[in-house]
Structure 1
Amino acid sequence: MTTTTIKLLRVTYLRGPNIWTYRPVIEAWVDIGALEDQPSNTIPGLYERLTALLPGLQAHRCGVGEPGGFLQRLRDGTWAAHILEHVVIELQNLAGMQSGFGKARETSVRGVYKMAFRTRQEQVGRAALAAANDLLMAAIDDLPYDLDSTIVKLRDMVDSLCLGPSTAHIVDAATDRGIPHIRLTEGNLVQLGHGSSQRRIWTAETDHTSAIAEEIAGDKDLTKSLLSACGVPVPQGQLVQTVEEAWEVAQDVGLPVAIKPEDGNHGRGVSLDLDQRHDVEAAFTLAQGQGSGGVIIEQFIPGNEHRLLIVGKRVIAAARGETASVTGDGQSTILELVNSQLNSDPRRGINEDAPLGLIEPDKSAEIQLDLERQGFTAASIPAKDKTVLIQRNGNVSNDVTDIMHPTVAAMAALAARVVGLDIAGVDMVLEDISKPLTSQRGAVVEVNASPGLLAHLKPAAGSPRPIGKAIIEHLFDADKNGRIPVVGVTGTRNTTRIARLVAWLLFISGKHVGLSCQDGFFLGNRQVEAKDGVNWEGSERVLINRGVDAGVFENSSRMILSEGLAYDKCSVGVVTDVSDFESLSEFYIDTSDKLYNVIRTQVDVILPSGTAVLNAADPQVVQMAPLCDGNVIFYGLDAKLPAIANHRVGGERVVYLHKQHIVLSQGMEEVGSIPLNTLKPSKADQPEMVMAAVAAAWALGLSPELIGAGLRTFDSTSKKSI
């Protein structure tokens, strides 16, 4: 047993691509103290205690590359920082926030490690790290640990802080398409794409969801009127204001009737199959209390409740509802029967990821009204084998998409178009969704904005539907990925001036450019802010701006180490040099090789369609070329530099200096030449800086002539222009 503790020296949330991985991670600097002399195989009982607490560790692959790999390392002997990494990953998994990535590496200080793990939400990740530390120390010291309480707390955090399952499903579908995303609030408002190519979603609403259409959908009487005028079958009915009027209208439209609030949703205040005056009056009072307007009395249409999801102009999914009943045993109350026969179904729950909700007769006025019609209350004890209807509507979670008749789908899609919603949930009552609409008494009873998606993502029965994929296809054409040209500049030599010059060249090409660099934050030819913009906040301001057609970012090694890159991928990555590791000693960067691993992050994120612009005179920068998934342009003062010469032989693009001209060459063929003596002295005396910017602009498709014109007009001393 040890008396030491594991100290967390520093915990940093790296929100973008970093030295560990492409995705957000929490990096912890961990001092394991005396445990440096006590690997896991020297601590009696640790293996058994840890695996008893966390049996899921069996699935962790670790360096072996197969399930059980981590446990093998634990048995053979590994160090506390590595164990902590796997414990925090497993705690996140148990809390419902899946994670699989983690690494731990020694620093140059004995006993101090850098450990990183993937997390989808910073606060949850930090809490899981603290809990993992406590759990591991309890296992090491053979002390009790309340795992259940920890998981409950973490799950509550996941439920309240993470994206909801429906939004997360859409975001995952965007990721599969290579579309970046930015969470704009602590809720479910998410930006898909960057700059002027972005779209926004709020779960099942998009930036093209009409506010007018939402207002129409919220007015049930107006919706019915519009649908009926356009040939969509709807139940006949009327809006009423008083209980006396309710009974009169009920008789006029024909008993039995359905009653609902004019502006209700989610089935609240809805009563069905009413044919007695006292039931109609009670249902009216219930509906009036659930809405802010009048009450709708309409024909009751017999059949099953269905929810059809329309995205764009197509029905993507259909689910059928079913009534919920219990059978008496002569001893239990209805409330007890509901809990034992219905709520015990593992598909039911209070969380958003449960396909069916819990049924609470003692809290639902709608259920209580139905029970009263049958002569019961929630406390009644039905006779043995007596069937009691608990819920007439709801429970819409049985997928029937594959058997849906085309005429039913066409009518639902028409209903959504009439209201004007791009994403809609159309509620229909149908006898059989597989039969033509003309052969049955079917009707559209509601059209809902912001429909629930979970019934289609996790149906209680049937196949899940790719709702996220359909929504992404609706938002983005097949050849679009929501990206704008993004240029990142990394290194220490003139990176600010290179970034500003690239931004200027893009600006004169006709693009509205956002620039974040040490000189500040720029939009177009205007300096918006003068403070240092080499940070996450400054960079993200460019990416979320809907008016920006291209973004240019100066990225320092310090930013990569402390925050990560603000973008997931870029079109062009410029690397000027690998130098000055001494200034990063606080990050345990104490060799040029360690700095190399930091700066290479800029090259790692270049798109397959993109280009790395690399300084041919720096050997470590040249070594980054094979890391690029796209093309490479080398630049340098001398065409005889090995990297440039070999690149030309291979037919690739290079930029070099020859007879006081900046030469752009594709293989051995000269594409363009820009004389240095036409440039302002402040640029002409730093040709490497200019060549880096020229190469970046060339990689983005600008012609040599336009680049030359841009160089002649660029003034890096001006704060009023890029």
Structure 2
Amino acid sequence: MTRIRHLLTFSGPSPFAPKPVVVADVTLPGNDSKEAELLRAGCTRLHEAFPEWLPEAPAPDLALQEIVGTSLVQWALGALNEVRGFLFESGFAAKPDGAILWMAYHVPSVSMRALDLALNVLSDAGRSPDFSRADTEERLSAFWLLCRHNHPDFQARILMLGARSGNIPVMPFLQGTKYWQFGWGSRSRIFFESMSNSDGAIGMQFSKSKPLAKAVFTSLGFPTPPFRLVGNLHELAGAAAATGWPCVVKPYAKGKGKGVTAGIGNMTELQAAYIHARKYSDESVMVESFVPGDDYRLMVFDGKFLGALRRDPPAVTGDGINTVRQLISILNRDRTANIVKSRYLCPVPLDEALEFQLAQQGMGLDSIPEADRRIILRSNANISTGGSGTDVTERVHPDVRMMAETVAKNFGIACAGLDYITEDIERSWREGGALIEANTTPGIDGLIAAGQDALKITSRLLGELPGRIPFHLVVVDDAAIEPIWQSLKGMRFPETTGWACGSEAAVGSMRLQPVKEGAWTGIHALLRNQLVDTIIAVCCVGDIMRNGLPVDMVDRVSLCGDLSIIDEWMQVFEEHSGSIEKLTEWAEWERQYGI
């Protein structure tokens, strides 16, 4: 029975790959068996159904191990990267009765699931002459839901692109969350999407509350439309009298355009918009004066203007033949779960907000609009709900740039997105236009979708801080770990030096209590600690061979004593260190480096 079996999980460099990988093996039938013939046919059909994941057709004269090994790891890597994956390492090695497989991971169990799914799909393809991509749709959808919950969100992925280019290490700050750490120790920065730990708490409070944000705009002397908060239908008439017609209704503290209705022209529409907004918020609803013009997102990072995007709501144009539903399906055709292939354009969701907007235009999903009639699908232009953007960075008036920088600076937000409406972005805000709200996760994907260079943007967002700190790895015999730990406890380290031995760790004179489950948890605790500017890690040979190196690159490796290290692992040390020294015993390291 052909199956995949998990062997090892490396959390760092190993003889298999320079990054973390899971290692598994697959047992295969003899070359001349009927099952082998089916597997060969399955590999060919898999290539035909997924040419973007398996770019080269398998050569018929290759050994079964090579054909199956290549197909499994290429298909699994393609499936992992289709939804939010940012993985590169994979491979296989033939063995007499099968193959050894290795696969990069964000979460080990998800990558193992990908290999299992690859074999499952390959087996089905071998048994079915009519196999097609559609046969995998249900299984892939379930798998991609798993990826969506466990892989980096697409904004973190964009930052990872810049980190990879700049050789900046990346690690989860909290496992199983969207908090990612870029850099080590004192040279690290934590991001949640594009929001970082550089953002001030007060600015976060301002941005979460639309009324507070508008009060800040006003206090700084910048324009924002008047508004009223209403708690029931009876208060709508007074709010409309104060704001005038047309007006806008939005939930008190909801983001991404949820529950927003713009261009409301009478009391009937206002009541419907209020009821719609209350579905997204238990708090008061905001009624705001309508500002004519286009919707712009002004981006500021570390107090400097980064770029501007004109945001357009999703729309379809009638042809007199297709229904609105069909036209949306055509629009969404190239907006897939793979956000990179979709150029960061999101599908337009068929939801209540869309149906509400259609009703405002006298349309429904099954209506057939006449030729050339433009149907607006949402009242908001958010990229996350299907909107699109145009880069207008070079056209923004200097006064508008300065306004954006001033607001972001006073909010105390490192990465800020300000929503601004004007009829002409090339005019000063003094000549018309108004600030609407502020965002701490402004969506850097929008600028990339509009054509800006991703690496240029991510280098600005990551800034100068994220990078590496000195890391010294000391490798000892397994039996030496406990006496060396006792020796280390008697040394005096600088208060910013992190030091680890086996599963123990400390910063200067402060002992830590790292969780003992998993590989290198003590070292990971030091890497996350922003007080730490140097790390000394003592690791035994056995732990390294079971788990891989604790990090992808160290400054110096000290090999202490007569260690049994095979050539493949010596090569790993050589490729992932600045230098290697061989010492006769631990005491020699103490004399040379002990503090």
TM-score range, shorter-chain basis?
Answer: 0.7 to 0.9
User: Partner residue of 1:267?
Assistant: 257
The 5-angstrom pairing of residues 317-466 of structure 1 reads 317-327=307-317, 336-341=323-328, 344-348=331-335, 355-359=344-348, 363-364=352-353, 367-378=354-365, 386-394=373-381, 395-433=387-425, 435-438=426-429, 440-459=431-450, 466=456
* Inter-partner Cα distance in structure 2 for 1:576 and 1:151: 49
Q: CA deviation at 1:385?
A: 5.6
- Which of 92, 96, 101 is 1:104 aligned to? 92
Equivalent in the alignment of 1:126: 112
Q: 1:537 aligns with which of 515, 521, 528?
A: 521
Quote the residue 2:160 is aligned against: 171
- 8 Å Cα contact 2:481/2:540 also seen in 1: no
Higher relative contact order (CA 8 A, sep 6+): 2
Shift of 1:284: 3.2
3-state SS of the aligned residue for 1:561? helix
CA 1:437/1:384 → structure 2, altered by over 3 Å: closer, same or farther? same
Task: Label 1:540 to 1:444 Cα distance change in 2 as closer, same or farther (>3 A).
Answer: same
2:495 and 2:508 in contact (8 A); partners too? no
Partner of 1:691: 588
Is it true that 1:574 corresponds to 2:542 in the alignment?
Answer: no
Structure 1 counterpart of 2:44: 51
The alignment's TM-score, normalised by the length of structure 1, stands at: 0.71
Q: State how far apart, in whole Å, the 1-side matches of 2:483 and 2:472 are.
A: 11
- Aligned CA distance change for structure 1 residues 343 and 303 (closer, same or farther; 3 Å): farther
Q: Partners of 1:168 and 1:127 in 2: how far apart?
A: 21
**Contact 1:319/1:399 (8 A) holds in 2:** yes
Secondary structure class of the residue paired with 1:393: coil
CA distance in 1, matches of 2:398, 2:502: 56
CA deviation after TM superposition for structure 1 residue 276, in Å: 1.8
Offset at 1:691? Answer: 2.2
- The answer for the alignment partner of 2:180 in structure 1 is 190
Q: 1:26 aligns with which of 22, 31, 37?
A: 22
Supply the distance in 2 between the matched residues of 1:90 and 1:79 (Cα, whole angstroms): 16
In the TM superposition, residue 221 of structure 1 has moved relative to its aligned partner by 1.6
> Aligned partners of 1:605 and 1:88: how far apart in 2?
25
Q: Call closer, same or farther: CA 1:432–1:396 in 2, change over 3 Å.
A: farther
* Partner in structure 2 of residue 584 of structure 1: none
User: What is the letter of the counterpart of residue 50 of structure 1?
Assistant: C
* Contact 2:316 2:328 (8 Å CA) reproduced: yes
Q: Which residue of 2 aligns with 1:77?
A: 62
Give, in whole Å, the separation in 2 of the partners of 1:141 and 1:390: 44
Q: TM-score, normalised by structure 2?
A: 0.84
Q: Deviations over 1:579-599 (max 9, x none)?
A: 447xxxxxxxxxxxxx22124
Distance 2:206 2:512 in 1: 41
> Any gaps of 5 or more consecutive residues in structure 2?
382-386
Distance 1:464 1:528 in 2: 39
2:534 maps to 1:550: yes
Q: 2:91 matched to 1:91? A: no
SS of the equivalent of 2:213 reads helix
RMSD, aligned α-carbons: 3.8
Find the aligned partners of 1:352 and 1:327 in 2 and give their Cα distance: 24
Query: Within 2, Cα distance between the matches of 1:38 and 1:124?
Result: 33
Q: What is the SS of the residue equivalent to 1:27? A: strand
Distance change (3 Å), C-alpha of 1:250 and 1:77: same
User: How far did 1:21 drift?
Assistant: 1.9
Pick one of 213, 237, 241 that aligns with 1:223: 213
Deviates further, 545-554 or 163-172: 545-554
Aligned twin of 1:208: 198
Distance (whole Å) between structure 2 residues aligned to residue 502 and residue 83 of structure 1 = 51
Q: 1:563 aligns with which of 544, 547, 559?
A: 547
Residues matched between the structures, number = 581
Taking structure 1 as reference, are residues 458 and 373 closer, same or farther at Cα in structure 2, changes over 3 Å only? closer
C-alpha distance after superposition, 1:62-95 (max 9, x if no partner): xxxxx75x83xx4332242663244222232145
Q: Distance in 2 between matches of 1:262 and 1:612?
A: 60
User: One-letter code of the match for 1:472?
Assistant: L
Q: CA, structure 1 residues 339+568, in 2 after alignment: closer, same or farther (shift >3 Å)? A: same
CA change 1:135–1:143 in 2 (3 A) is farther
Alpha-carbon separation, structure 1, partners of 2:103 and 2:279: 50
Give the distance between the partners of 1:361 and 1:167, measured in 2 at CA.
26
Structure 1 residues 215 and 563: alpha-carbon distance in aligned structure 2, compared to 1, 3 A threshold = same
Identity of aligned residues (%): 20
Number of the residue aligned with 1:586: none
Alignment match of 2:269 (pick from 279, 286, 299): 279
CA gap 1:403/1:123 in 2 versus in 1, 3 angstroms = farther
Is the contact between residue 227 and residue 289 of structure 2 (CA under 8 Å) also seen in structure 1?
A: yes
- Partner AA of 1:428 in structure 2: Y
The CA distance in 2 between the partners of 1:164 and 1:531, in whole Å, is 26
Secondary structure at the counterpart of residue 131 of structure 1: helix
Change (3 A) 1:261 1:363: closer
Distance in 1 (alpha carbons) for counterparts of 2:401 and 2:182: 29
What is the Cα deviation at residue 58 of structure 1?
A: 7.2
Residue identity in the other structure for 2:470: P
| Equivalent residue for 2:170, pick from 174, 177, 181 | 181
Write the deviation string for residues 641-685 of structure 1: whole angstroms up to 9, x where unpaired. Answer: xxxxxxxxxxxxxxxxxxxxxxxxxxxxxxxxxxxxxxxxxxxxx
Would the aligned equivalents of 1:124 and 1:157 in 2 still touch at CA under 8 Å? yes
Measured after TM superposition, the shift of residue 99 of structure 1 is 5.1
Q: Which residue of 2 aligns with 1:685?
A: none
Cα separation, partners in 2 of 1:469 and 1:430, compared to 1, 3 Å: same
Check conservation: 1:82, 1:103, Cα contact below 8 A: no
- 1:152 aligned residue: 141
Structure 1 residues 505 and 305 mapped into 2: Cα distance closer, same or farther (>3 Å)? farther
Could you tell me how far apart the structure 2 residues matched to 1:371 and 1:136 are? 44
Question: Secondary structure of the equivalent of 2:352?
Answer: coil
CA displacement, residues 213-243 of structure 1 (integer Å, 9 cap, x when unaligned): 1221122122112211212221233334444
| Structure 2 match to 1:487 | 472
SS in structure 2 of the partner of residue 408 of structure 1: helix
How far the C-alpha of 1:393 sits from its partner, in A, is 2.2
Distance 1:350 1:221, change over 3 A: farther
Secondary structure of 2:295's aligned partner? strand
Q: Does 1:597 align with 2:568?
A: yes
Question: 255, 264, 276: which is aligned to 2:245?
Answer: 255
Secondary structure at the counterpart of residue 397 of structure 1: strand
> Does the 8 Å CA contact 1:499/1:693 hold for their aligned counterparts?
no
3-state SS in 2 of match to 1:562 = helix
